Amino acid sequence: MSIKSTGYSFQDFSKLTDLVPRIPKLLGELGLFEEASYHKSTLIEVERVEDGVDEILAQSRNGDRNFSGGEVAIQVPFKIPFFPLDSKHFTAADIQDMRDFVEDPNIPMTMKRRMDRARGRLARSHSVLSERARYKALKGNSYAPNDASCQVVYAEKFDVVSKVKAQFEIDLTNADLDPRTTIEAEARKHIQKYAGDQADAYQVIAICGSDAFSGIAGHPLVKAAYSEYPSASEPLRNRLGGNLINRSWETEGVTYIEDFVGQSMGEIAADEIWFLPLGILDMFQTHFAPADIIEYANTEAQDMYMFVEETARKSQVQTETSFLTVNTRPELVVNAKIKK
């Protein structure tokens, strides 16, 4: 889309957003979130489905028969929040007598180069935004700061508050108490209880702050298992292409992952761990809504939109996205804090 008039232009660069590098983050790379849904409306309904199995009794031939039940499904309405982010207005003063010291100090700065830098910064900011929203969903909340109408506690929305487990403590001060025993009793069994009979192919992972990861790995009863763990056989490391800077290992049916980025973002406390199953269908979802532009109203949404507005005296990059990250099974996420 390109709108031009005397001394003014508005150009749509949304199709080129994939060419602007964005920063990969841990939750985005783990595969927790299903393929995104793209809507034509800002108001959606999210479905939560709980299935099960049926008991099959022996019956007399030509007698009573057994009948299967059905899955329990509910649909909950949500409003998708809107996130705009624009660059400053660039004027002649931003390029006059300036040199492009990043590319070549002998080349004068141009408005195109200045705008390219702005697009890169905006794209990185959108990456951080997406990851913050994923962490909020992990913790059972929607991410919509400054918009109360879109702020949701998913356990309340899906009516499972009574099933959400309170934070428990892992005592690392007792050298005779294996922390894995506590984790099995408090976290893994809780997840197994509420995951349902149909969800038997999941893997429990633990997203850890640095202190929590080191504390558990360094416990006398765990240290040998950690030190002898062959990282080459670690399934998550292989799944993520071997590019993780975070330490990870598996023991007693739980894969522990140290989350540097989440900790630096303030989303994962250094002494906390978040346990959750990897492989529950439709547990984590992302829903997108259209841009706030007339031409895009009631059209299928995109991940991100980017526009350039120019006049004879100034230029600006405008970006926006409208999305909601949803956790339909908040009762399957368990939080713990270490004591050391």
Half-sphere exposure at residue 192, Cβ-oriented, CA atoms within 13 angstroms: 9
Any idea what DSSP says for residue 88? P
Q: Would residue 33 count as lying in a domain?
A: yes
Question: Has residue 277 been placed in a domain?
Answer: yes
| Confidence at residue 14, expressed as pLDDT on a 0 to 100 scale | 80
Judgement on whether residues 10 and 139 belong to the same structural domain of the protein:
yes
Number of domains in the chain: 2
Q: Collapsing DSSP states into helix, strand and coil, what is residue 153?
A: strand
Same domain for 241 and 334? yes
How do strand 168-171 and strand 334-339 relate by DSSP bridges?
parallel
User: What's the pLDDT tens digit per position in 83-99?
Assistant: 999 988 888 877 776 66
What was the pLDDT predicted at 93? 72
What is the Cα–Cα distance from 340 to 328, expressed in whole angstroms? Answer: 33
pLDDT band at 102; cut points 50, 70, 90: low
Helices 210-217, 220-227: crossing angle, 10 deg rounding: 90
My answer on whether 132 and 223 are in the same domain is no
Q: Is residue 61 part of a domain?
A: no
Q: Which range of residues forms the domain containing residue 224?
A: 161-282+330-339
Helix (H) or strand (E) holding 157: helix 154-157
- Structural domain includes residue 127: yes
Task: Please report which confidence band the pLDDT of residue 239 belongs to, taking 50, 70 and 90 as the band edges.
Answer: very low
Q: What is the pLDDT of residue 103?
A: 62
Clarify whether residues 258 and 247 are in a common domain: yes
Nearest CA-CA partner of 85 in 292, 320, 322, 308: 320
252: left (phi over 0), alpha (psi -120 to 50) or beta: left
Task: Evaluate whether residue 59 is within a structural domain.
Answer: no
Statement: residue 43 has pLDDT above 70: yes
Q: Are residues 246 and 122 in the same domain?
A: no
Are 278 and 289 within one domain? Answer: no
Residues 123 and 238 in one domain: no
Cα(1)–Cα(10) distance, rounded to whole angstroms? 8
| Residue 67 lies inside a defined structural domain of this protein | no
Specify the CATH number for the domain of residue 189: 3.30.1930
Residues 205 and 146 in one domain: no
Instruction: Please say whether the beta carbons of 144 and 150 come within 8 A.
Output: yes
- Is the same domain home to 34 and 102? yes
Find out whether 318 and 309 touch, Cβ atoms under 8 Å.
yes
Among candidates 331, 210, 214, which has minimal Cα distance to 275? 331
pLDDT in tens, 244-297: 557 788 888 898 999 988 888 899 999 999 999 988 888 999 999 999 999 999
Which residue, among 38, 21, 33, has the nearest Cα to 290 in the 3D structure? 38
Which CATH number do you get for residue 94?
3.15.30
Whole-model pTM? Answer: 0.84
Q: Say yes or no: 298 and 334 in one domain.
A: no
User: Is 313 within the bounds of a domain?
Assistant: yes
Q: Provide DSSP, 199-261.
A: --S-EEEEEE-HHHHHHHHTSHHHHHHHHT--GGG-HHHHHTTT---S-EEEETTEEEEE-HH
Same domain, 38 and 109: yes
Separation between Cα atoms, residue 217 and residue 42, nearest integer Å: 45
- Do 185 and 253 form a contact (C-beta atoms < 8 A)? no
Same-domain pairing of 145 and 291: yes
| 65 is a domain residue | no
DSSP class of residue 298 equals T
Structure tokens at 302: 């995109």
